[in-house]
Each structure stands twice: as C-alpha cells, then as structure tokens.
Amino acid sequence: MGDFDIDNNLGSDPASDIIQDIISGARRLKIVCETLEAGLFDEIETFRGPVSSADVATKCHFSLDVTERLFNTLVCLKLLEKITSTDGDVGYKNSTATTRYLLCSKRPSMIACCLSEAAMVLPALDNLAAVLKGGTSETIAQQMVKGEQNNNTKGSDNANANPPNTVNTNPPNTANTNPPNTANANPPSTMITNNDKQMMFMLAMEGMAATCAPAIARAFDLSGNKTAADLGGASGCIAFELSRTYPNMCLTVFELPHVAKLAKKLQPEDTRNKVQIVGGDFFKDSLPPADLYIIAHVIHNWDIEKTDILLSKVYRGLPPGGSLLLLEKTLNEDKDGPWPCISMDVVMAMISKGRERTPSEYQKLLKKHGFSNTQFKSIEGCNYYDAILAKKPF
C-alpha cells in the first residue's frame, strides 16, 4: 500500500495495551448509549435491508459526516454490518446482537442494561475511593432498589413515571408505540433525571436475565416441582421462562409492592394464567407457599445477618424434598475472576453490604442452613448468572 510500510518490529509498548483497552471500554459504552439515545438502530431497522449512511442522515437530519463515521465505528463494535454491493455501494444493517437486544421495538432488550450501567453503576463507582477509606455509600442504585426518591436529581423518580423513551415497556414481542428518537430528542444530560429510574433498573435486570433464562430453565430438571416462588423476582423474566419450560408449574413472583406493581404492567400475556405477581417483603411477610424457591441476585445484596434470616426462612418454608434454586454469578476459587462477577463484587461493595461468592462458599452457606445435595451449573458466556440447586432433605 504505497509507502505505508508495515514493520512488525515497530509497535507501542504492549504493557500499555491493557490500559488502552480499559480506557476504550468506557468510550465504547458512551458511544452505544448516545447511539441508543439518537434512536439510530431503530431507524436503520425501518429500512428493512442495507442502508447507506447518507440515506439515514438525510431522513433523520443528522450530520452526514458524523453519521458515516459513527456507522463505521459501530461496524468496528460489531453492532452494525457493512455490506458492499457488486457496484461498490456501501450499505449498513444492524448486526444480530443489535437486532436481538438493542431495538426499542423489542422486549426484553439490553437497552436498559447499557443506560443503567452509564447512569447508575458508573456513578456508584464514584464512591470507590471514599468507601476504600472507610466511608459508606448511599447511591442512586441503592435508593432505587429500595424504591426511594433521590432528592439530588431533577425530574420525576416515582414508580408511575415514564422510563426513558429509548426503552420499550410494552409486553415482549409487541411493537413499541414510542417512535424512535430523532437527533434532536432529549439531550443525554437530561435522559436519566427526567425519567423513571426504578423502571430502568427493572428493565436492566430483565435484560440481563433474558440472555440466560433459557439456560437457567434447563440447568436442572425441575419438572418434579409443582409450585415455585421467585423471591425478589423483579420483572418476572425467570419465572416466565420457567412457566414456559415447565407447563405444569405454577409460579409466584414475590417482590416489594412498588416493584410488583411495575412488573404486573409488563407481564407477557402468555404467562398470566401461570405466573402471579405478588407484592410483599421477604424479610417481614410470610413467603408464598412453594416446593421450589428461586432467589436470583438477591443473596449478593445482603450482609451475612440478613442472608441468614432469608435462607433460614426459605428453608423453613420448603416441604421436605423441596428445592432452592439460587442464581448468582460465582467467583472462581482464587476470587480474581470472572470479570462480570469480580467487577460486580466491587459494585456491591459500593451499593450494599453484600458480596459475591465462590461455588464452595455458597455450598458452605447453604449447608449451614440445612440444605444438602448442592449441585452447581456454570452458565457459559459473558453474563451474570450461574445456577445452584440445593435440597431440603426428607
């Protein structure tokens, strides 16, 4: 290529690659959040085939130059595919990952996962240095889990307010009634403060669960269980999947009342006769009767005192032979990975008194409460779930 020679002996210090990669992670997330905010993926989808950056820019009144540069950046991120026709025309279409998880017209999606990472998780980490020095942390994310209002931010925080209009709150697989945003829609700085963070948190949980729910449902044979209750089940995503996999199972999603109210609004039609969503507090109220309890991403939120209270309550609530399906991402035995889990361990230190654990730590914890026959299934991929099944002995 002309006088642009490639010499394999020339290169930057490989030790700096690690740092560059870390820096670019934040940049990747920011670019994706802004692209979602601009409604670009939904716009591309409306063309139903490869589209030029010029056509999208014209339709949306975007800068042609920046659109083309952004499109190529999204190709590099594997969120768009670039197709060159035999005539040499260049078109772009959404990649499989984008079509499956980043379209506002679909639910479940991972849009809220991206937005909440930027708007809640990263701000929670602002406290890392302070917490390291012995402080405590009351963050936006923590307030949302409790359903409290954050007086430090502008806009509506109540549970009935609208989630960001980049997030679809229609039941899954129905068309979104919100048109895609245009370039001049809400500027990013007002996006989170003017919308409902509680709904965003729940949809983020749903997005994370949706990628693993089929694997979770198949991890163990649960066909012997007739009644199941998902304690702190958020949107109900995992319960809904179990109801489809095990048609004879009746399920309850047991959630804090303000979350249960939101979850009911989102419940898919096909699960309504099999899954009921009930408001309650698993520390204060009686648990719904069940021969299978599910607790997903709950134990890692609490200190050991609260964990012991909940696990002994679950154990007492089960009939002999009943099961607990505990879903958490587990640390490796050296406690230095995998990345989703070890990084979440630091986040948990910012937003809760909880922690992540290894499979053997979970086994020990469950044994302490009387559970036996603990089985462990790893859920492969970049995700936040592994599956642990434990039995109450006969």
Ligand X SMILES: C[S@@+](CC[C@H](N)C(=O)[O-])C[C@H]1O[C@@H](n2cnc3c(N)ncnc32)[C@H](O)[C@@H]1O
Total site size for ligand X, rule CB under 6 A = 16
- Taking CA 180 as the corner, what is the angle to CA 177 and CA 186, rounded to the nearest 5 degrees? 110
Least separation in angstroms between residue 200's CB and ligand X is 12
Least separation in angstroms between residue 145's CB and ligand X is 5
The number of residues making up the chain comes to 394
292's enclosing H/E stretch is: strand 292-296
Which CB sits closer to ligand X, 102 or 296? 296
Which CB sits closer to ligand X, 43 or 255? 255
Which CB sits closer to ligand X, 118 or 141? 141
Which CB sits closer to ligand X, 91 or 288? 288
Determine which residue in the list 191, 234, 349, 387 makes contact with ligand X, applying CB under 6 A. Answer: 234
Determine which residue in the list 161, 256, 278, 379 makes contact with ligand X, applying CB under 6 A. Answer: 256
How far apart are alpha carbons 8 and 205 in whole angstroms? 45
Least separation in angstroms between residue 209's CB and ligand X is 4
Closest CA to 67 of 82, 46, 50, 53: 53
265's enclosing H/E stretch is: helix 257-266
- Concatenating the DSSP letter of every residue in 105-174 gives TSSS-SHHHHHHIIIIIHHHHTTHHHHHTT-----HHHHHHHT---TTS-S--STTSPPPTTS--SPTTS
How far apart are alpha carbons 308 and 302 in whole angstroms? 9
Contacts (CB under 6 A) with ligand X, residues 81-140: none
Which CB sits closer to ligand X, 119 or 234? 234
How far apart are alpha carbons 360 and 331 in whole angstroms? 10
Which CB sits closer to ligand X, 44 or 295? 295
Least separation in angstroms between residue 282's CB and ligand X is 4
Contacting range for ligand X; rule: CB under 6 A; set: 55-63, 169-177, 221-229, 232-240: 232-240
Contacts of 257 (CB under 8 A, 6+ apart): 279, 280
**Contact status, residue 296 vs residue 353, Cβ threshold 8 Å:** no
Q: Encoding tokens for residue 235?
A: 């949107």
Determine which residue in the list 45, 196, 255, 386 makes contact with ligand X, applying CB under 6 A. Answer: 255
Should residue 233 be labelled a site residue for ligand X when binding is judged by CB under 6 A?
yes
CA 210 to chain centroid, in Å, comes to 8
Should residue 145 be labelled a site residue for ligand X when binding is judged by CB under 6 A?
yes
**Contact status, residue 92 vs residue 53, Cβ threshold 8 Å:** yes
DSSP 51: B
Contacts (CB under 6 A) with ligand X, residues 270-289: 281-283
Contacts (CB under 6 A) with ligand X, residues 288-317: 296-298, 301
Least separation in angstroms between residue 366's CB and ligand X is 18
Contacting range for ligand X; rule: CB under 6 A; set: 72-80, 185-193, 210-218, 253-261: 253-261
Determine which residue in the list 110, 112, 115, 209 makes contact with ligand X, applying CB under 6 A. Answer: 209
Should residue 205 be labelled a site residue for ligand X when binding is judged by CB under 6 A?
yes
Task: Give me the residues paired with residue 377 across strands.
Answer: 387
Contacts (CB under 6 A) with ligand X, residues 317-376: none
Task: Write out the residues near ligand X by the rule CB under 6 A.
Answer: 145, 205, 209, 232-234, 255-256, 259, 281-283, 296-298, 301
